[in-house]
Amino acid sequence: MASSFGLLLRRGLSTSALRCDMVRTPIPTFGLTGCYAQALYSASVKSKTKENVAKDLVTIGGMFQSQKVADFMNDPFIKSDIKLGLLKEVATKAGMSNTSVNFFGVLAENNRLDLISDVTDIFARLMSAEKGEIPATVTTAQALDAKQKKEVETALAKFVNKNEKIILTEKVDPSLLGGMVVNIGDKFTDMKYIDMSTSSKIKTYLELIKQPV
C-alpha cells in the first residue's frame, strides 16, 4: 500500500522519531493495538475526520460480528488485496472517509484485520476522553432505582476533576449479598477500585478469624 497514511503507520510502529510527529492522544495507548489506534487518531485529527472515522469503525466492526465475514477477513491464506478490495467496496457504498479506507488497507496488508474490534474500542475511548468522560462501573446485589443511581453518580463525581464527567455502567451480581463494588476508570487510565460489598467484609472477617492468636 503506497498511501502516506500507510507509510506513517508502518514507520510509526517502529520509529520513535516519527511517533513524536503524531498528534498526542488524550489518554495513553499501549501495545500493538494502541499503536495502530494512535496512528489512526493522529491521521484523523490531521484530516479532520475523527467523527467519520469513529462511525466507520463501528460499521466495519458490525460486519465482523458475522462469523463468516470474520473468518474470511482473518484467513492468512487469502491475499490482502482481495480483502482490501472487499473493504473498499463496502467503504464506498457506506460513504466512508479515505482515512478509514487507508487504515483498513494497512491492516489487511499486515494481516491484522483481527485488531479492528480492539482498535474500535480504543478509538471510542479516545473520543470519550476528549470530552472529559470517565467510565465507571457499579456492581450491586440488586439493581439500583433512580434515586440510588443519582446518589451514586453524585458521590462518584467527587472522585474526578470538575471538567470531567462520570459515565456510569450498572451491573448486578447477587453473590455480593449487599453493598457495592465500584470501578472508576479503565485499562487506559489510573483505575480506582472500591469494594464496599458485604461478601468482601465477610471474607475479611473470616481471614481475621483464621489468623493464629
Give the chain's domains with CATH numbers.
Answer: 28-128 (1.10.520.20), 132-210 (3.40.30)
Q: Does position 185 have pLDDT exceeding 80, yes or no?
A: yes
**Distance between CA atoms of 130 and 27, rounded to whole angstroms?**
9
- What is the SS3 assignment for 2? coil
Which residues contact residue 184 at a Cβ distance below 8 angstroms, ignoring those fewer than 6 apart?
134, 135, 136, 156, 159, 160, 166, 191, 192, 194
| 22 or 210: which leads in pLDDT | 22
Closest residue by Cα to residue 22 from 39, 7, 5, 6: 39
Q: What is the pLDDT of residue 194?
A: 79
Mean pLDDT of 184-202: 75
Q: Please report, rounded to a whole number, the percentage of residues in the chain having pLDDT higher than 70.
A: 83
Q: What is the pLDDT of residue 17?
A: 40
Q: Does position 137 have pLDDT exceeding 90, yes or no?
A: yes
Q: What is the pLDDT of residue 2?
A: 42
| 106 or 170: which leads in pLDDT | 170
